[in-house]
Chain A
Amino acid sequence: MYKDYFILPWREMKRRKLRSWLTLIGIIIGIAAIISLISLGEGLQNALSKQFAMLGEDKLLITAKGNILTAGLSIDAIKITEKDQEVIQKTPGIKKTAGMIYSTGRIEFNDHVRYFFIEGMPTDPEERALVGETNFFHLLRGRPLQNNDNYKAVLGYEYTKETMFEKEISLGDKIKINNKDFKVVGFWERTGSPQDDSAIMIPLETYQDLFNKPKELGMIFAQTAPGEDPLKVAEKVEKTLRKSRKVKEGKEDFTIQTPNQLAQTFETIITMVEAVLIGIASISLLVGGIGIMNTMYTAVLQRTKEIGILKAIGAKKVHILTLFLIESGLYGLGGGIIGIIIGIGFAKLVEFIFSLMVGPSFLAVELNWWLVGGTLLFSFLVGCLSGVAPARRASKLNPVDALRGE
């Protein structure tokens, strides 16, 4: 029986194709934006939490005051050093520590010069694991850095390309970093992160020597002993560091974070950005809803006579109301369906572009039925709500006046 109520609105929408499409566009844009933003945002959060999970939950990250993004690049006076590492290592509850540091360096090969990140990395296998190297990087060729390596380098995936220096770098080749010769001993596989793929790893001590930063570190990784609560250990580390660095509580010049906290920090940022963007997209949805309302008011005017006819042949108020609500609901639903398709398409396109730029499987669009179903329901509701006032006007028309109208 209910399908009968769809025929009339559907035919009407088909009859006025241009107006129907124009009405739909508002909703389509809003829904497409919301769907692509949410699915990309979720995908990005997933990608990041995966990266942080690879660090392990039992780890603490100690950096000079600032944040993870500027660690190692800090040009201000606050530094952390191997002395801090020793202090941390002695704190109860800490199993192992490792330090690393990085900054931009001048790289020369085949008479070409490029500037990329140089990373001073530990050479001890356990320490390498602790800073995450073993989890994130996999060897393509050669070997990783070893103990007693001096002026040796392991290069990121980008250096395997000829385009970098107009000539391919091979194992055993010499490259110049800050005018010092380094022997290439290995290449990493592609990681997907442009920064990591163009970085060069050298032994920590070599780095400190090369950049004239004796004993200096960019960040310290500390692994807590099994069974210890990382957050409680972090408090202890903070206390001992405060003492050794002679700073007062609340005036710490260093930061201790767990990978979970880091992940949460990033998630919060992404969520906030997402919220703002979705807020903007919602405005477009609101405008779309107003568009539907406008179309429906016009429809009531244009079809006044038709409403009169329907009333003359026995349509009650509720029938007229239903017919017009279905029509506006269809606008919402139709816009929702097309919007979701376009939104998913756009998100997939971004995913594809990402995979070309930074490697596959870094950013996977996250779609769930809850999101699609919810968006669909929401767009239908927007349509229905926009139609309430026009539909009520239509249903209240007096049959005689309506029949007279043209």
Chain B
Amino acid sequence: MKTKKPSQKPVITLSNVWKTYHMGDVELNVLKGISLEIYPKEFVAIVGPSGSGKSTMMNMVGILDVPTKGQIFLEDQDIAKTTESQLAQMRGKKIGFVFQQFNLIPTLTALENVILPTIFQNLPEKIRQERAQKLLMQVGLGERLHHRPTELSGGQQQRVAIARALINDPEIILADEPTGNLDSVSGQHIIDLLVKLHKDENKTIILVTHNEELINYCERVIHLKDGQIFKTEYVKNLHVPSKK
């Protein structure tokens, strides 16, 4: 078992995070005191049965949502002490999202979808064009720059989404069931891309997944159950899937 990396500061810290939803008079505790640190360049998977609080935790890690109780830090920044606009700015800059549903904007072409996040960061036109084309080339869609999402296969759409997640050169890639809607071949393509990002570009990758294949690439697997972390596994051999 690998231990934590005390020499480095965590990129994301969850400290006794609770999330409570009110359904009428009933209080529903979805997260019950989660504490977690994610370090730079880690490849982490969050797994658990449905209803275990995976998605809610994902939203917390992606600073899309704020906890009912507890603290979340993105690097040194306490997100409770930032404005909504600052949060949006931080998301855009530091976190790249990859969703199960791809979540591309249907009216925009592949290239425009990839460029979209840079608009909110005021990146100069020339740089963003070059960067977006380069990224689409990297994910193997150099020939599909001007296709709309509906003209692309699921796998291709997810690759556009990955390019979009990378456009602002974020430190963290947050992927929610990235292969959940794909056939095995396309899924494998996405897995390869994520592994490559981790290995070659030193991105911190956080996955929420059921995909056994994908879990095998991770350094750390966090098991959630009933809103609590009940097991954390460390995998030693990064690039050799361990057979069960």
A-B contact count (CB 8 A): 72
Determine whether the beta carbon of A315 is less than 8 Å from that of B84: no
Q: Given A8, A314, A316, which contacts B105 in the complex, CB threshold below 8 Å?
A: A8
Most buried by B among A12, A311, A314, A400: A314
Chain A: minimal CB distance from B171 (Å): 14
Within 8 A of B (CB), among A296-333: 305-306, 309-319
Closest to A1 in B: B122
Segment from B6-14, B86-94, B195-203 that makes contact with A: B86-94
Q: Is B68 positioned at the interface, with any CB of A under 8 Å from its CB?
A: no
A160 and B65 CA atoms in complex are apart in Å by: 87
Checking A11, A318, A400 against B108 with a beta-carbon cut-off of 8 angstroms, the contacting residue is: A11
Report the minimal beta-carbon distance from B14 to chain A, rounded to whole angstroms. 16
**B122 proximity list for chain A (CB < 8 A):** 1
Q: A318-B85, A400-B64 are in contact. Are A15 and B97 (CB under 8 A)?
A: no
Which of B91, B121, B164: most chain A Cβ within 10 A?
A: B91
A7 contacts the other chain (Cβ, under 8 Å)? yes
Among A306, A313, A316, the one with the most B-chain Cβ atoms within 10 Å of its Cβ is A313
B96-107 Cβ-contact flags toward A at 8 Å (1 or 0): 010100010111
State whether B64 touches A319 (Cβ < 8 A).
Answer: no
> Using an 8 Å CB-CB cutoff, how does the interface string of A314-358 with B read, 1 for contact, 0 for none?
111111000000000000000000000000000000000000000
Within 8 A of A (CB), among B52-97: 59, 62, 64-65, 84-85, 88-89, 91-93, 97
CB distance A314 to B91 under 8 Å? yes
* A162: Cβ under 8 A from any B Cβ: no
A399 within 8 A of B: yes
B92: chain A residues at CB < 8 Å are 313-315
Complex partner residue of B168 from A5, A310, A314, A399, CB under 8 angstroms: A314
Q: Does residue B119 face the partner (Cβ distance < 8 Å to A)?
A: yes
Residues of B within 8 A of A312 (CB): 62, 64, 91, 97, 103
Q: Please judge, given known A-B contacts A400-B64, A403-B64, whether A313 and B107 are in contact too, CB under 8 Å.
A: no
Q: How far is the CB of B203 from chain A (nearest CB, A)?
A: 16
Cβ of B226: which chain A residues have Cβ within 8 Å of it? none
Beyond A312-B64, A313-B164, A314-B89, is A4–B119 a contact (Cβ under 8 Å)?
yes
- Bound-complex Cα distance A400 to B59 (A): 7
State whether the Cβ of B169 lies closer than 8 Å to any Cβ in chain A.
no
Known: A7-B108, A7-B112, A8-B107. A313 touches B65 (CB 8 A): no
Given contacts A305-B103, A306-B105, are A314 and B120 in contact (CB under 8 A)? yes
Name the CB-closest residue of B to A395.
B84
Complex alpha-carbon distance, A257 and B143, angstroms = 82
Does residue B116 face the partner (Cβ distance < 8 Å to A)?
yes
CB-contact partner of B88 in A4, A12, A305, A314, under 8 A = A314
A144, B121: Cα distance in complex, Å: 83
CA distance A316 to B97 in the complex (A): 16
In whole angstroms, what is the CA distance A314 to B88 when docked? 5
**A367 and B124 alpha carbons, distance in the complex (Å):** 42
Q: What 1/0 mask marks residues of chain B from 112 to 147 whose CB sits below 8 Å from any chain A CB? A: 100011011110010000000000000000000000
On whether the beta carbons of A313 and B117 are closer than 8 Å, the reply is: yes
Kindly state the separation between the CA atoms of A403 and B65 in the bound complex, as whole angstroms. 11
CB of B88 within 8 A of CB of A311, answer yes
Chain A, Cβ-Cβ closest to B103: A309
Given contacts A11-B108, A316-B89, whether A399 and B65 have CB atoms under 8 Å apart is yes
Q: Provide the bound-state CA to CA distance between A310 and B91, in Å.
A: 11
User: What is the CB-to-nearest-CB distance from A235 to chain B, in angstroms, rounded to a whole number?
Assistant: 72
Q: Please report which residues of chain A, range 1-39, place their CB below 8 angstroms from some CB of chain B when the two chains form the complex.
A: 1, 4-5, 7-8, 11-12, 14-15
- Asked if A319 and B97 make an inter-chain contact with CB atoms under 8 angstroms apart, the answer reads no
Contact in complex: B105, A309 (CB < 8 Å)? yes
> Are A317 and B121 in contact, CB atoms less than 8 angstroms apart?
no
The chain B residue with its CB closest to the CB of A406 is B101
Q: A7-B112, A400-B59, A400-B64 are in contact. Are A315 and B88 (CB under 8 A)?
A: yes
Cβ contact within 8 Å between B91 and A313: yes
Which of B64, B89, B107, B121 has the most CB atoms of chain A within a 10 A radius of its CB?
B107
Q: Judge whether A313 and B120 touch: CB under 8 Å.
A: yes
- By a CB distance below 8 angstroms, the chain B residues around A313 are 91-92, 97, 116-117, 120, 164
Residues on B with C-beta less than 8 A from A11 are: 107-108
Residues of chain A lying within 8 A (CB to CB) of residue B164: 313
Out of B107, B117, B125, B168, which one reaches A15, CB within 8 Å? B107
> How far is it, in angstroms, between the C-alpha of A306 and the C-alpha of B116 when the chains are bound?
12
Contact A400 B65 (CB under 8 A): yes
- Give the CA-CA distance A310 to B84 in the complex, in Å: 14
Residues from chain B with Cβ under 8 Å of A14 in the complex: 107
How far is the CB of B90 from the nearest CB of chain A, in Å?
8
**What residue of chain B has the Cβ atom nearest to residue A402's Cβ?**
B64
User: B64: nearest residue on chain A (CB-CB)?
Assistant: A399
Inter-chain contacts of B91 with A (CB < 8 A): 311-314
Docked Cα-Cα span, A1 to B128, in Å, equals: 12
When distances are taken between beta carbons in the complex, the residues of chain A under 8 Å from B84 are 316-317
Which residues of chain B are near A319, meaning CB under 8 Å?
88, 119-120
Nearest CB of chain B from residue A406's CB, rounded to whole Å: 9
Chain B residues near A317: list those with CB within 8 A: 84-85, 88
Interface residues of B in 16-45 (CB under 8 A from A): none
- List of 4 A-B pairs having minimum Cβ-Cβ separation, nearest first: A314-B92, A11-B107, A313-B117, A316-B85
CB pairs A–B below 8 angstroms (11 shown): A1-B125, A11-B107, A309-B99, A309-B105, A312-B64, A312-B91, A314-B88, A314-B120, A316-B85, A318-B85, A319-B119
Residues of A within 8 A of B (CB): 1, 4-5, 7-8, 11-12, 14-15, 305-306, 309-319, 398-400, 403
Chain B contacts to A: CB under 8 angstroms: 59, 62, 64-65, 84-85, 88-89, 91-93, 97, 99, 103, 105-108, 112, 116-117, 119-122, 125, 164, 168
